Structure 1
Amino acid sequence: MITSADARILILLVRDTLEGSFSGKSSEESLLVVKDRDKERFSRKQGVFVTLHKHDELRGCIGFVEPVYPLYEAVVRAAQAAAFEDPRFAPVAEDELGEIHIEISVMSVPKTLEAGSAEEYPEKISVGRDGLIIRKGFRSGLLLPQVATEYGWSSEEFLEHTCWKAGLPPAAWKSPEATIMTFQAQVFKETAPGGSVVEVM
């Protein structure tokens, strides 16, 4: 479990990483200055997504589904990727930092959703608790748990939008060739840029 104190440290790490990027620091260099106590505190490998908002509009969101890095390292790498490598947006500019709200989602390990038939999938998904991953062929899409809550989707709409995120037809989740996975996340965000941190879910 991530505590509120942990979340404040991780979100500060995101902000420090972004600020350091404008002085020429790479993610590797940012990792070198992470405090030893934080490396020890967040040494467990966990999936994490970093989401950036500007004036309540999405400005970047990238992360790691699988627990491939220690949490502190995953946060640093995801922060730089969300700010500068999200293909949907232009890279964040230095003068935007004061307007950027930071949100982190620390993920559980995804699990394949089992059902007797495709029609059973919606009832096995808990909106507000579960995030979704849908894979079919070479395509894959992921939506974080808070997205369905923010838009007021039903579980079936959540499935359809995750298909769309993967570049698949909305009903692709019904295909026997599709794999559906669920995960949970602890989500924390700033109430204002550089401000206090609250737990969203």
Structure 2
Amino acid sequence: MELTKKQGTVLVKYIRKTLEEYFKEKTVDIKDYISEDMRDVVSREAAAYVTLFKYPSMRFRGSSGHMLPILSLEKTIREATLKAAFRDRRFIPLMKSELRDTIVELSQLRKPVKIEADSLSEYPSKIKIGRDGIAIEKGYTRALLLPQTAVMMGWNAKQFLSFALLKAGLDPRYKSKNIQVYRVQAQVFREEKPGGDVIEEEFN
């Protein structure tokens, strides 16, 4: 189910509120924060990621989420928010003083589509930068790079695939056995500035 712009805006603001209240040692019940007509939306299972950026540099500050719809959207967002801010091992935990200079972004993922290819060299031609993210799966190992990542980093499709493979701990020079590569598209909602208006990113 696609989110409306209004729903995406409410959820991004909920993410920020969750972080603000965390520093006050409080929690936010999403059902007290959203309108009655959104309760079904947040109760359904959904795949989503929360990503944080430093403002105004837009330097990556943390990200977490679920590639598959295994939890309700409500639980996925809350869990991803706290993990992105405080338990992303690539960064020290977010400090209260940083929040005023941090951009919040929500990506609701659409169903992954498996890419069929006989060799690694075939995959890039089947990936459209600005529209597709890349998910890698091998056994119990999964890695995801969101669609907006390639745009922000200035990567072409070949570079995008290489970094996705590296994130999964795989050698980008070889097609490992039993590797699965998926296209993943997303609805993306992001603050224009910390605590400011929320925009929906357009990916075509």
TM-score, normalising length from structure 2? 0.88
Is structure 2 residue 84 aligned with structure 1 residue 95?
A: no
Alignment-derived partner of residue 144 in structure 1? 146
The answer to whether the 8 A contact 1:163-1:171 is kept is no
How far apart, CA to CA, are the structure 2 residues paired with 1:21 and 1:115?
A: 45
How far apart, CA to CA, are the structure 1 residues paired with 2:173 and 2:89?
A: 25
Deviations 1:120-168 (A, max 9, x none): 2222111111111112355432100011112222211111010111122
Q: Please give the secondary structure, in 2, of the residue aligned with 1:187.
A: strand
CA 1:136–1:40 in 2, change beyond 3 Å: closer, same or farther? closer
Alignment-derived partner of residue 156 in structure 1? 158
The answer to whether the 8 A contact 1:10-1:72 is kept is no
CA 1:170–1:115 in 2, change beyond 3 Å: closer, same or farther? closer
CA 1:43–1:85 in 2, change beyond 3 Å: closer, same or farther? same
CA RMSD of aligned residues (A): 1.9
What is the deviation of 1:81? 1.0
CA 1:94–1:175 in 2, change beyond 3 Å: closer, same or farther? same
How far apart, CA to CA, are the structure 2 residues paired with 1:77 and 1:141?
A: 18
What is the deviation of 1:100? 0.9
Q: Please give the secondary structure, in 2, of the residue aligned with 1:141.
A: strand
Aligned pairs for 1:6-155 within 5 A? 6-25=7-26, 30=29, 33-35=32-34, 37=36, 38-55=38-55, 56-155=58-157
What is the deviation of 1:178? 1.4
The answer to whether the 8 A contact 1:30-1:76 is kept is no
- The one-letter amino acid of 1:198's match is I
Alignment-derived partner of residue 6 in structure 2? 5
- How many percent of aligned residue pairs carry the same amino acid? 38
Q: Please give the secondary structure, in 2, of the residue aligned with 1:42.
A: helix
Q: Please give the secondary structure, in 1, of the residue aligned with 2:105.
A: strand
TM-score, normalising length from structure 1? 0.89
What is the deviation of 1:88? 0.5
Alignment-derived partner of residue 169 in structure 1? 171
How far apart, CA to CA, are the structure 1 residues paired with 2:39 and 2:31?
A: 10
Residue segments in structure 2 that go unaligned for 5+ positions in a row: none
Deviations 1:157-188 (A, max 9, x none): 1110101111222224x234311112110111
